[in-house]
Structure 1
Amino acid sequence: MIVGHVVGCRRAAFVSSRWLHDAQYQVRHDGASSRPEERQDPFELVADELSLLANRLRSMVAAEVPKLASAAEYFFKVGAEGKRFRPTVLLLMASALKFPISESTEGGVLSILSNKLRTRQQNIAEITEMIHVASLLHDDVLDDADTRRGVSSLNLIMGNKLSVLAGDFLLSRACVALAALGNTEVVSLMATAVEHLVTGETMQISTSREQRRSMEYYLQKTYYKTASLISNSCKAVAILAGHTADVSVLAYEYGRNLGLAFQLIDDVLDFTGTSASLGKGSLSDIRHGIITAPMLYAMEEFPQLHDVVDQGFENPANVDLALDYLRKSRGIERTKELAREHADRAIKAIEALPDSDDEDVLTSRRALIDITERVITRTK
Structure 2
Amino acid sequence: MTPATSFFTPVEADLQILAENLIKLVGNDHPILYAAAKHLFGAGGKRIRPAIVLLVSRATMLQQDITQRHRSLAEITEMIHTASLVHDDVVDESDVRRGVPTIHSLFGNRIAVLAGDFFFAQSSWHLANLDNLEVVKLLSQVLMDFAVGEIQQGLNRFDTSISLETYLKKSYYKTASLIANSSKAAGVISEVSAETAEHLYEYGNHLGLAFQVVDDILDFTGSTDTLGKPAGSDLKSGNLTAPVLFALEEKPTLEILIDRQFAQDGDLEQAMTLIEDSQGIQRARELAAYHAKSAVEHILELPVSEPHQALINMADFVLGRLY
**TM-score, length basis structure 2:** 0.92
Match of 1:345 in 2: 294
Per-residue CA distance 1:138-158 (angstroms, 9 max, x = gap):
111111101013111110011
Match of 2:172 in 1: 223
Match of 1:56 in 2: 21
Per-residue CA distance 1:34-78 (angstroms, 9 max, x = gap):
xxxxxx93122211110101111110012312112112332111x
Query: Quick one: distance in 2 between partners of 1:87 and 1:141?
Result: 24
Q: Does 1:68 align with 2:33?
A: yes
Query: Quick one: distance in 2 between partners of 1:190 and 1:235?
Result: 10
Which of 129, 148, 151 is matched with 2:100 structurally?
A: 151
RMSD (Å), alpha carbons: 2.0
Match of 2:182 in 1: 233
Contact 2:247–2:278, Cα closer than 8 Å, also in 1: yes
Q: CA separation of 1:67/1:49 partners in 2, compared to 1, >3 Å: closer, same or farther? A: same
Q: How far 1:210 sits from its partner (Å)?
A: 5.4
Q: How far 1:217 sits from its partner (Å)?
A: 0.8
Match of 1:88 in 2: 51
Q: Does 1:41 align with 2:3?
A: no
Contact 2:49–2:77, Cα closer than 8 Å, also in 1: yes
Unaligned 5+ segments in structure 2 are none
Query: Quick one: distance in 1 between partners of 2:23 and 2:322?
Result: 30
Query: Quick one: distance in 2 between partners of 1:241 and 1:316?
Result: 57
Query: Quick one: distance in 1 between partners of 2:118 and 2:273?
Result: 44
Aligned residues: 315
Contact 1:272–1:281, Cα closer than 8 Å, also in 2: no
Query: Quick one: distance in 2 between partners of 1:328 and 1:67?
Result: 48
Query: Quick one: distance in 2 between partners of 1:281 and 1:302?
Result: 23
Query: Quick one: distance in 1 between partners of 2:265 and 2:108?
Result: 28
Q: CA separation of 1:314/1:159 partners in 2, compared to 1, >3 Å: closer, same or farther? A: farther
Unaligned 5+ segments in structure 1 are 1-39, 102-113
Match of 1:183 in 2: 132
Equivalent residue runs for 1:183-202 within 5 Å: 183-202=132-151
Per-residue CA distance 1:106-158 (angstroms, 9 max, x = gap):
xxxxxxxx45x521111111111101000000111111101013111110011
SS at match of 1:350: coil
Equivalent residue runs for 1:168-317 within 5 Å: 168-207=117-156, 213-273=162-222, 282-317=231-266
What amino acid does structure 1 have at the position aligned with 2:231? S
Contact 2:69–2:130, Cα closer than 8 Å, also in 1: yes
Query: Quick one: distance in 2 between partners of 1:208 and 1:141?
Result: 17
Per-residue CA distance 1:288-314 (angstroms, 9 max, x = gap):
111110011000112332222111134
Query: Quick one: distance in 2 between partners of 1:145 and 1:274?
Result: 17
Contact 2:157–2:239, Cα closer than 8 Å, also in 1: no
Query: Quick one: distance in 2 between partners of 1:212 and 1:123?
Result: 42
Per-residue CA distance 1:201-235 (angstroms, 9 max, x = gap):
00011127657532111110000000001100000
Which of 102, 114, 137 is matched with 1:165 structurally?
A: 114
| Runs of at least 4 residues off by over 6 Å | none
Query: Quick one: distance in 1 between partners of 2:271 and 2:103?
Result: 32
What amino acid does structure 2 have at the position aligned with 1:221? K
Match of 2:310 in 1: 367
Q: Does 1:132 align with 2:59?
A: no
Q: CA separation of 1:352/1:303 partners in 2, compared to 1, >3 Å: closer, same or farther? A: farther
Match of 2:61 in 1: 98
Per-residue CA distance 1:59-109 (angstroms, 9 max, x = gap):
0012312112112332111xx12011111111111111125x4xxxxxxxx
